[in-house]
């Protein structure tokens, strides 16, 4: 039986060949300022669970020192991750537009 890592790599290769965008998990760091969500940093999360937890913990500590926060979102690229996070923060705050 193939490992999960091999199956994921094969699925990504099939999606690329078919021309489909590939979503992956991104860590988005930022802060709510008034009616907008400022995104400070976007970084893809590692697929290794231990490395992922370490990254999220470090980013969370850094964000907390600056009175910010961290969230994870599945997106096709960093710009899409930032946009999805802004939309979600606007939805949570009851705002219609975050631009």
Q: Is residue 4 part of a domain?
A: no
CA atoms of 79 and 28, how far apart (whole Å): 10
Query: What's the pLDDT tens digit per position in 8-20?
Result: 777 777 877 777 7
Q: Is residue 50 part of a domain?
A: yes
pTM for this model (two decimals): 0.74
CA atoms of 72 and 66, how far apart (whole Å): 18
Query: What's the pLDDT tens digit per position in 36-74?
Result: 889 999 999 998 899 999 999 999 999 999 898 999 999
Q: Is residue 14 part of a domain?
A: no
Number of structural domains in the chain: 1
Smallest CA-to-CA distance from 92 within 24, 30, 42, 35 is with 35
Q: Domain range spanning residue 37?
A: 22-93
Contact partners, residue 4, CB within 8 Å, separation at least 6:
none
Q: Is residue 9 part of a domain?
A: no
Q: Is residue 98 part of a domain?
A: no
């Amino acid at each position: 039986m193939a490992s999960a890592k091999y199956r994921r790599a094969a699925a990504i290769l099939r999606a690329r060949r078919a021309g489909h965008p590939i979503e992956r998990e991104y860590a988005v760091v930022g802060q709510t300022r008034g009616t907008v969500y400022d995104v400070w940093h976007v970084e893809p999360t590692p697929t290794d669970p231990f490395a992922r937890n370490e990254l999220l913990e470090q980013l969370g500590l850094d964000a907390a020192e600056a009175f910010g926060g961290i969230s994870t979102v599945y997106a096709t690229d960093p710009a899409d991750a930032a946009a999805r996070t802004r939309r979600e923060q606007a939805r949570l705050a009851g705002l219609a537009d975050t631009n």
